[in-house]
């Protein structure tokens, strides 16, 4: 009778393809297909490794969660300098909504996280876009909070009614134009 030996901890030399990047790629694929962050065990099974090998690359599940969500949010639109702020804001919002629509469990994950890493990325890009408006800090925070709440509500509505095929870019154009008009006249 033979017993399959299971190795724990650091990956063996024969498994050189395992890396933070390969773990992240698989985690994103699973999240896309299943609509939620995969468990460490499920991730390990799909990578054909022992679950403890993942802890060689990520200190705990929260570190993995942070890395996955930051990696996903970094995919949203990166604003360009010297372009129309309203166009840039539209591109940022559309890219964020498309990301939330592609990874259906991402919104719930982001809202339940204690870490601010993913939110900081969106906030930084939003701040860069509205910089020409020279809003004070209170107005910036209010503008960000209102926009985030609108986008999250829109994403939730998309998630609740996935049968509707709609052009996100066209659908948010009116409300976003109204929002931009309010921002322009807020100071």
pLDDT value of residue 13:
47
The answer to whether residue 132 scores a pLDDT higher than 60 is: yes
| Phi and psi based region of residue 172 (left: phi greater than 0; alpha: psi -120 to 50; beta: remaining) | alpha
Q: Are residues 46 and 78 in the same domain?
A: no
Q: Are residues 46 and 98 in the same domain?
A: no
136, 162: one domain: yes
Question: Does 23 score more than 60 pLDDT?
Answer: yes
Domains of the chain: total: 2
Q: Which residues contact 22 (CB under 8 A, 6 or more apart)?
A: 47
Asked if 30 and 110 sit in the same domain, the reply is: no
Cα–Cα distance between 94 and 103 in angstroms, integer?
14
Cβ(43)–Cβ(23) under 8 Å? yes
Predicted confidence at residue 14, as pLDDT, reads 47
Query: What's the pLDDT band for 30 if we cut at 50, 70, 90?
Result: very high
Helices (H) and strands (E) in the chain, counts: 10, 0
Q: Per the domain annotation, does 63 fall within a domain?
A: no
**Shared domain check, 139 and 175:** yes
Distance in angstroms (rounded) separating the CA atoms of residues 150 and 10: 44
Are 31 and 78 in a shared domain?
A: no
One domain for residues 77 and 132: yes
Alpha helices in 131-184 (DSSP H): 137-160, 168-171, 173-184
> Do 38 and 89 lie in a common domain?
no
Answer yes or no: is 1 within a domain: no
Q: Does residue 95 sit in the same domain as residue 177?
A: yes
Q: Which domain holds residue 134?
A: 73-184
In a domain, 5, yes or no: no
Does residue 51 form part of some domain? yes
Q: What is the pLDDT of residue 176?
A: 97
Residues 88, 49, single domain; the answer is: no
The answer to whether residue 3 is domain-embedded is no
Q: Nearest Cα to 89, choosing from 101, 81, 98, 77?
A: 77
Per-residue pLDDT at 187 exceeds 70? no
- The answer to whether residue 109 is domain-embedded is yes
* Cβ atoms 148, 76 nearer than 8 A: no
In CATH, what number is assigned to the domain containing residue 47?
A: 1.10.10
Same structural domain for residues 127 and 101? Answer: yes
């Amino acid at each position: 009778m033979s017993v399959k030996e299971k190795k724990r901890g650091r990956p063996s030399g024969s498994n050189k393809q395992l890396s933070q990047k390969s773990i992240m790629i698989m985690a994103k694929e699973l999240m896309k297909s299943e609509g939620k962050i995969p468990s460490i065990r499920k991730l390990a099974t799909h990578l054909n490794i022992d679950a403890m090998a993942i802890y060689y690359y990520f200190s705990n599940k929260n570190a993995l969660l942070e890395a996955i969500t930051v990696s996903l949010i970094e995919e949203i639109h990166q604003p360009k300098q010297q372009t129309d702020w309203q166009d840039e804001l539209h591109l940022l919002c559309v890219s964020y909504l498309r990301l939330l629509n592609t990874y259906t469990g991402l919104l719930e994950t982001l809202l339940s996280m204690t870490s601010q890493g993913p939110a900081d990325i969106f906030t930084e890009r939003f701040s860069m876009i509205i910089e020409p408006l020279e809003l004070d800090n209170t107005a910036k925070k209010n503008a960000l909070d209102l926009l985030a709440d609108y986008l999250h509500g829109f994403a939730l509505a998309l998630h609740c009614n996935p049968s509707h095929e709609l052009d996100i870019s066209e659908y948010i154009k009116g409300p976003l134009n109204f929002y931009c008009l309010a921002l322009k006249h807020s100071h």
